[in-house]
């Protein structure tokens, strides 16, 4: 089975629900490569409205941007995996660098979130990536391998089938600076090798996305690399025309 080609948009904390619906409708009505799987990671407040618009649309799915590591309890302001599942949400982002940086999410905590998400039938988009400092020290591959080892590699091969990995170098997120296709491919191959060691042929079916200033102008050359199976797109996913071009860049 060939790996899924995925264009995932991460709206972060942007757009009103109405603006989100408008953007979604534009994407639905636009010309889309039917081979590309589109995932929209939208704010929790928008999930049900956007889901509703996508009810009869194939290959566009909704993701939550986060979930709590416990299934229920006294955690004011948080959202649980069972809640997302009961709404019909299919995916959840885990470990975005903004969650790691601003909300202190550690590899150990992310491991708990991954387990609770999978237990509740949510597919996980696991984000990893290094800071500029780490890259300058040439420790980037080791850093990402550690993130994988401490959060993800305890899963069984059957569980890995419900995981997508997004490599997002922090220095490229929202900065306009993109990793070169070669830099990204180097890391994606290293990630695939780490997966292969444990999961053998299952590793060939895991989609690995690149994230960090993906835009219409650079998506084609990134997605052409053998181990890059798509993108996790922040800023450029807020514009239907531009994101549409990214969707059609495979």
Could you give the residue numbers annotated as active site? 96, 168
What character string, x for contact with ligand PGA (CB under 6 A) and - otherwise, covers 225-244?
-------xxxxx--------
Cβ-proximal residue to ligand PGA, closest one: 234
**165: phi then psi, degrees, rounded to nearest 5:** -110, 140
What character string, x for contact with ligand PGA (CB under 6 A) and - otherwise, covers 170-189?
---xx---------------
Stretch that binds ligand PGA, among 47-55, 73-81, 209-217, 222-230 (CB under 6 A): 209-217
Stretch that binds ligand PGA, among 13-21, 65-73, 129-137, 207-215 (CB under 6 A): 207-215
Using alpha carbons only, what angle is made at residue 176 by residues 114 and 65, rounded to the nearest 5 degrees?
25
Which two three-digit tokens encode residue 151? 């959060």
Question: Using an 8 Å Cβ cutoff, are 8 and 208 in contact?
Answer: no
Question: Using an 8 Å Cβ cutoff, are 250 and 230 in contact?
Answer: yes
Confirm or reject binding of residue 85 to ligand PGA (CB under 6 A).
no
Residue 203 or residue 246: which is nearer to ligand PGA going by CB? Answer: 246
Q: Which of 111, 88, 235 is nearest to 163 (CA)?
A: 111
CA distance linking residue 215 with residue 236, whole number of Å: 6
CB of 147 to ligand PGA, least distance (A): 15
Number of Cα atoms under 13 Å in the Cβ half of residue 68: 13
Interface residue list for ligand PGA (CB under 6 A): 10, 168, 173-174, 211-214, 232-236
């Amino acid at each position: 089975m060939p790996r899924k080609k995925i264009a995932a948009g991460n709206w972060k904390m942007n757009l009103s629900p109405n603006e989100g619906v408008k953007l979604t409708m534009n994407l639905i009505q636009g010309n889309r490569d039917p081979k590309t799987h589109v995932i929209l990671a939208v704010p929790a407040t928008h999930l049900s409205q956007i889901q509703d618009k996508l009810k009869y649309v194939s290959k566009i799915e909704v993701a939550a941007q986060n979930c709590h590591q416990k299934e229920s309890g006294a955690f004011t302001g948080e959202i649980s995996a069972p809640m997302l599942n009961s709404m019909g949400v299919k995916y959840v982002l885990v470990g975005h660098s903004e969650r790691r940086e601003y909300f202190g999410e550690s590899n150990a905590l992310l491991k708990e979130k991954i387990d609770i998400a999978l237990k509740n039938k949510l597919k996980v988009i696991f984000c990893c990536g290094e800071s500029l400092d780490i890259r300058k020290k040439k420790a980037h591959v080791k850093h990402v391998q550690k993130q994988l080892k401490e959060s993800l590699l305890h899963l069984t091969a059957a569980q890995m089938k419900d995981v997508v990995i997004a490599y997002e170098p922090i220095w490229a997120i929202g900065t306009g600076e993109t990793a070169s296709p070669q830099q990204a491919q180097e890391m994606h191959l290293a990630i695939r090798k780490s997966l292969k060691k444990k999961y053998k042929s299952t590793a060939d079916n895991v989609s690995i996305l690149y994230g960090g200033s993906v835009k219409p102008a650079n998506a084609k050359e990134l997605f052409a690399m053998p181990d890059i199976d798509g993108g996790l797109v922040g800023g450029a996913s807020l514009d239907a025309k531009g994101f549409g071009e990214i969707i059609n860049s495979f």
